[in-house]
Chain A
Amino acid sequence: MSATAEAMAPRAAAFSPIGDAVIDCQLQKVFYGDFLAVRNSHVPIEKGKITGFIGPSGCGKSTVLRSLNRMNDLIPSFRFEGHVKYHGQDVYGKTVDPVVVRRYIGMVFQQPNPFSMSIYDNVAFGLRLNRYKGDVEERVQKALERAALWKEVKDKLNKSGLSLSGGQQQRLCIARAIATEPDVLLMDEPCSALDPIATRQVEQLMLELKERYTVALVTHNMQQATRVADTTAFFGVDISGGGRTGYLVEMGETRQIFQDPQEELTKQYVSGEFS
């Protein structure tokens, strides 16, 4: 690391997880074209926990999350420097196919995005994609049950996924993502398009999901982070370089971040002085 990069590096004390980190993200620089979007952030994702990403808009929390399963590769100008170790393997390694990464690290998006096919086919999509030989029907039912949607849709599995309400569609997308039992589930503001009741259902669901999966969650809602996240990473925006570059300010146990933040910026943010 060069001397200037050293000077720019955040002062935050490195956070080391108590348990095993499933994903160890050592991000040095992320660019969109010439624009430096995120710099110097070490974000470990702990196994069996929910890791929440919070921060003001433009702080790069979504960019970091989407770097974990190489979703950002869809954007042609995207460039990642650093590494994301997943089970010891660098996700950005030369021989790694992003398609494979995404099959192990599933994703739920901000906007519900079911496919225009039946509810059943939506959930079975990943199973068929992975050429699952077992009982597809049973897996579909189990995924829908875990997503707390089974009771509402069990009599209309042949109806289009798009005929459901927004909250139901988002739970369908969660069912679709967990049907293949991926290792890690990335959730990018999964409740931002939902009403309070649906939000509560999805949050309840997250808490149940962490029994089986590791979850990383981006949220713009601090209360949501306190309700569900075990660990919280706070990202800030650095405007000193002229641009708006995001970086990890502080990461720690959720209770500590909200009650005893070590950084002044974190303190201001969690007390609601800016958002």
Chain B
Amino acid sequence: MAVNPFQHADSASSVSGPPSGGDYLADSIFRIIALSCAALIVVLILYILWEIGGLALPAMAQHGLSFVSGTTWNVGTQEFGVLPEIWGTLYSSFLALILGGTFGVAIAIFLTQDFIHARLAAVFRTIVELLAAIPSVVYGLWGIYVVIPMLRPVAEWLHSELGFIPIFGTELSGPGMAPAALVLAIMILPTVAAITVDAFRRIPYKVKEAAYGMGTTRWEAILKVMLPTASSGILAALVLGFGRALGETMALAMLIGNSNQINLSLFAPANTLASLLASSFPEAGQIEVQALMYAAVVLLLITLIVNIVGLGIQQYTVRKFEGKT
């Protein structure tokens, strides 16, 4: 309990006084709770890594780095390699990021830069966010019954006309990279759009005034001033969206075709780490479970690296454009 050195302050009628012992107690209790909540998150992450790492350890010891560079997954011969899955994970997420990122940022611009009335924008925003509430498996079904049939004529035309370009190099046989990436793009759209909307909203009005005061047209104001100002927030949105795409499981397991191959073609079936885990676990024996745990560690590491690199780029833009250290 702190002593009050000012209790003999001049004004006799002053109601000023020190905080009570209870106030100080509440203060420290609150600090302890906040601190332990934060610590719990770190502990949880470490625990998950520890557990999965422990289960994966036998596979790690046996296969080493050849697990990452190998291209076959054969339980019979106990050959396990996840390079096609790593490729599929990164390729599908990258395609989804390009599509979903572009649309997400465009929607955010549309919703925040006075194109429509604020109330209508709020309605729109809610609708976009509703996309995030649709279960993954529903996206998967929608992909199978709507997206794939819709893509088929387009894919056939592209393959027959532009088949010499590697990305159109194969025919669409059904599930494959293109429908998976398309659905994935829609799935990450709400994440990208919502966070980008917030980034634009955070821009003070005075910045907009400054832009128009210089005599910019609306597009010049958006492209040359608002976008750079929101860039760190937009980057954060893209990193989060990419992270979501990397880990997305159910819809991809239904749409990507689960085929162990590395192919640039958008119409070829492929596989991702997450969908490998989902589709192989139910029937996996002990040896394969260990290999799958190793794959889970690889997926975790990829997500971790993407987030760290993304955060680094974001910090760099904050320093570069906003002058904060």
Contacts and interface: CB of A to CB of B under 8 A. Distances in A.
B244 interface: no
Nearest to B208: A74
Interface stretch (A24-32, A42-50, A53-61, A154-162): A154-162
A176 B214 contact: yes
Nearest to B216: A129
B213 A106 contact: yes
A126 interface: yes
B206 interface: yes
Given A74-B209, A100-B215, A102-B215, 5 more contacts: A111-B206, A113-B206, A117-B321, A160-B321, A162-B321
Contacts of A85: none
Given A160-B320, A160-B321, A163-B323, A71 B214 contact: no
B210 A115 contact: yes
Nearest to A76: B114
28 contacts: A74-B209, A74-B212, A99-B212, A99-B216, A101-B215, A102-B213, A102-B214, A103-B214, A106-B214, A109-B206, A113-B209, A115-B225, A115-B229, A116-B228, A116-B321, A116-B323, A126-B215, A129-B214, A129-B215, A129-B220, A129-B224, A130-B215, A159-B323, A160-B322, A162-B321, A162-B324, A163-B323, A177-B213
Interface of A: 69, 71, 74, 99-104, 106-107, 109, 111, 113-117, 125-126, 129-130, 159-164, 173, 176-177
B112 to A, nearest CB: 15
B13 interface: no
A34 B145 CA distance: 55
A107 B229 contact: no
- Is chain A's interface secondary structure helix, strand, loop, or mixed overall? helix
B210 A109 contact: yes
Contacts of B208: 74
A116 B212 CA distance: 15
A117 B214 CA distance: 15
The 10 closest A-B pairs by CB, nearest first: A163-B323, A160-B323, A103-B215, A102-B215, A162-B323, A113-B210, A113-B206, A107-B213, A116-B321, A116-B229
Interface string B199-227: 00000101111111111110010001100
A115 B212 contact: no
Contacts of B322: 116, 160, 162
B277 to A, nearest CB: 42
A164 B225 CA distance: 18
Nearest to A108: B213
Given A71-B213, A74-B209, A125 B323 contact: no
Contacts of B323: 116, 159-164
A117 to B, nearest CB: 6
A172 to B, nearest CB: 11
Interface residues of B, number: 25
Contacts of B213: 69, 71, 102, 106-107, 109, 177
A103 B216 CA distance: 8
A237 B209 CA distance: 26
Contacts of A159: 323
Contacts of B321: 116-117, 160, 162
A109 B209 CA distance: 9
Given A115-B228, A126-B215, A173 B220 contact: no
B216 A71 contact: no
Of the listed residues B209, B220, B229, the one surrounded by the most CB atoms of chain A closer than 10 A to its CB is B209
Q: Which of A71, A117, A159 has the most CB of B within 10 A?
A: A117
A182 to B, nearest CB: 9
Given A117-B321, A161-B323, A99 B217 contact: yes
A113 B228 contact: no
A117 B228 contact: yes
A35 to B, nearest CB: 20
B320 to A, nearest CB: 7
Contacts of B320: 160
B207 A115 contact: yes
Interface centre among B217, B228, B229, B323 (most CB of A within 10 A): B323
Nearest to B204: A113
A77 B324 CA distance: 37
B229 to A, nearest CB: 5
B215 A99 contact: yes
A125 B210 CA distance: 11
Nearest to A103: B215
Nearest to A74: B212
A179 to B, nearest CB: 10
B265 to A, nearest CB: 41
A73 to B, nearest CB: 8
A161 B320 CA distance: 10
Contacts of B206: 109, 111, 113
Contacts of A116: 207, 228-229, 231, 321-323
A185 B206 CA distance: 18
Contacts of B215: 99-104, 126, 129-130
A71 B220 contact: no
A103 B220 CA distance: 13
Nearest to A102: B215
